[in-house]
Amino acid sequence: MSEDRLQKSESPPELERRLGLSTAIAVVVGTIIGSGIFLVPQKIALTLGDAGWIIAAWIFGGLLSLAGALTSAEIAGMIPAAGGQYVYFREIYNDFAAFLYGWTTFIVYQTGSIAAIAVAFAKYLGFFFPLLGSWSLNIQTFSLPEIGIKLAAIGAIMFVTTVNYFGVQFGGLAQQLFTYLKVLAIAGIILTCFVFGTPAVRLYTPFFASFHGTSLLSAFGVVLVSVLWAYDGWNSVTYLAGEVENAQRNIPIALISGTIAVIAIYVLANLAYMYVLPVSQIAQSSLVASDAISIFFGKNGAAIIAVAVMISSLGTVNATTMTTARVYFAMAKDRLFFPQISRVHPKFRTPHVSLLVQGIWASILTLTGSYEQLFTYVIFASWLFYALGTFGIFILRRKRPDAPRPYKTIGYPFVPLIFVIVSLWFVYNTAVTDPRDSLIGLGLVLLGIPAYFYWKRRRVRIAS
């Protein structure tokens, strides 16, 4: 055997580019659309009250997310590597900024999101399995044994972890299926309302009436938290950049087209809700989709919505599990995390250890019941990272002006600048209106500092 062949046979397995454009788009759409479109409309209607302002809030949040996606698309085209945002922070800033991003992602942001959405799936599963507890689609009245719901949620987490363990193509096919089903379910709700529904009394009125001046800005600031939560995840496909075929072309296309598709779905869904239900009724509805469908299907409408939410939630858990594990994998490759996490399965070509560690930690958060509060603590920090990531485009344009850019941000420099300004305003507004949670969240992020220096020293020792 030649020396070259011997060296090749002894080299560790690497991730392979096995995902196509359709899967990349399914990841974007499937990660964004979770349970938000079923739960958030009530909060927005209660705060804004006017049909026009409600739609404006969804469009504004969508365009803001699109601005972030347009900017990330350029960076992703330049740096098509596994780990996405973590790798971008490393290239744009330094190891320290990248580690804090990865630390926050692991310790609670994405793992807490996995736990929260898995619990939502388990609660709706209880609608069909009374052994999980007596339950009503009215979220304010359900009564569930905590252990049953937690075990069901952990089962969901372990299920999608196992699916993604056995190959990125396997996980990608599952994601396409989940995404198609959830989009079809929401499309069915929209068509049912428009085709078979009777227009609500005072249809879409008042449209623009209730707010003026600073009161409108204040109300928008309140609802933006919910709207942006519903749009969160638009950048998730960048984590998979090392496994997407022709990533320099397909990642930007997936980011932009996927985000635009979700904006259209969200706006149409809200127009459909308001077509059959008055805004005042939506404001009092804990699950507006169920109330809208129940007009046509009676009690069976609750079962239909329960299935839709379960499909949507499980699809989001799958997408988040598949994508985010690549962040910790990239950290470990840089020797800034446990080295075992950088392993690639020799047969399935997946970061199997990273997937398992992520699944175990998300399950622990589920058992503790602290995931929702912890997630609330760091939500403002996530938008600080969004702002820093988007600002990175200005740094890269200056540092690497001649680097190949398969895609350049439309509307540069205004699009990324607007995103950065609004993101920083959102962080500031959250810190002012909720200083306690913001300080706790900042503390969780800063806990990564001693962890960083530990791994940094360890890397230096190994290198020497």
Report CA 346 to chain centroid distance, whole Å.
29
What's the pLDDT at 379? Answer: 76
Q: What is the largest CA-CA distance in the chain?
A: 81
Q: Is residue 273 part of a domain?
A: yes
Q: Which residue has the tokens 């922070």?
A: 89
Mean pLDDT of 185-206: 84
Q: What is the pLDDT of residue 357?
A: 97
**pLDDT mean over 403-413:** 92
What confidence category does residue 3 fall into, taking pLDDT thresholds of 50, 70 and 90?
Answer: very low
pLDDT value at residue 294:
84
Tell me the per-residue pLDDT of 109-128, one tens digit each, with 9 for 90 and over.
899 889 888 988 988 888 78
Residue 108 domain-assigned (yes or no): yes
Output the six-digit token pair for 48. 């804004």
Is the pLDDT confidence value at 289 over 90? no
pLDDT band of 401, cuts 50, 70, 90:
very high
Domain count, the chain: 1
Give the span between the Cα atoms of 64 and 67, in whole angstroms: 5
Residues 6+ apart with CB under 8 A from 124: 306, 309, 310, 313
Q: What pLDDT is stored for residue 255 in this prediction?
A: 94
Cα of first residue to Cα of last residue in the chain, in angstroms, is 32
pLDDT computed for residue 211 by the predictor = 62
Q: Which of 209-213, 246-250, 261-265, 283-287 has the lowest mean pLDDT?
A: 209-213
In a domain, residue 243? The reply is yes
335-354 pLDDT, tens digit per residue, is 999 999 999 999 999 999 99
Cα–Cα distances in Å, from 330 out to 195, 293, 338, 354, 405?
A: 49, 44, 11, 10, 23
Residue 5 in any domain: the answer is no
CA neighbor of 120 nearest in space, from 395, 310, 331: 310
- Show the CA angle centred on residue 426, arms to residues 414 and 206, nearest 5°: 90
CA distance 105 to 445: 9
If phi > 0 it is left, if psi is from -120 to 50 it is alpha, else beta; for residue 146 that is: alpha
pLDDT score, position 376: 72
Number of residues that this document lists for the chain: 464
Q: How confident is the model at residue 10 (pLDDT cuts 50, 70, 90)?
A: low
d(CA 229, CA 223): 10
CATH code, domain with 158: 1.20.1740.10
pLDDT of residue 145: 54
Phi first, then psi, for residue 336 (nearest 5°) are: -115, 20
Q: Which residue has the higher pLDDT, 156 or 5?
A: 156
Q: Are 183 and 147 in contact (CB under 8 A)?
A: no
* Residue 109 belongs to a domain: yes
Find out whether 361 and 58 touch, Cβ atoms under 8 Å. Answer: no
463 in a structural domain? no
Please say if the pLDDT value at position 136 is more than 80.
Answer: no
The answer for residues whose C-beta is within 8 angstroms of residue 62's C-beta and 6 or more apart is 231, 259, 262, 263, 266, 267
> Is the CA virtual torsion 86, 90, 93, 99 positive or negative?
positive
Find the domain containing 426 and state its range. 15-403+414-458
The pLDDT of 355-372, averaged and rounded, is: 88
Does the residue 338 lie in any domain? yes
Residue 252 falls inside a structural domain: yes
Give the pLDDT band of residue 144 (cuts 50, 70, 90). Answer: very low
Q: What is the dihedral of CA 416, 418, 422, 425, to 10 degrees?
A: 100
- pLDDT at res. 197: 81
pLDDT for res 33: 93
Which residue has better confidence, 450 or 425?
A: 450
pLDDT score, position 219: 78
* pTM of the shown model: 0.88
Beta strands in 331-398 (DSSP E): none
Verify cis geometry, omega within 30 degrees of 0, for the bond prior to 339. no
Span 169-181, pLDDT tens digits:
889 999 999 999 9
Task: Work out the average pLDDT over 147-158.
Answer: 91
Contact 286, 208 (CB under 8 A): no
Average pLDDT for 415-428:
91
Lowest-confidence region among 142-146, 166-170, 357-361, 376-380:
142-146
Q: For position 213, what pLDDT does the model report?
A: 56
Comparing 50-54, 186-190, 290-294, 451-455, which segment has the lowest mean pLDDT? 290-294
Whether pLDDT at 186 is above 90 = yes
For 73-107, the pLDDT digits (tens) are: 999 989 988 898 999 999 999 999 999 999 999 99
Residue 134: partners with Cβ closer than 8 Å, 6 or more residues away: 142, 143, 144
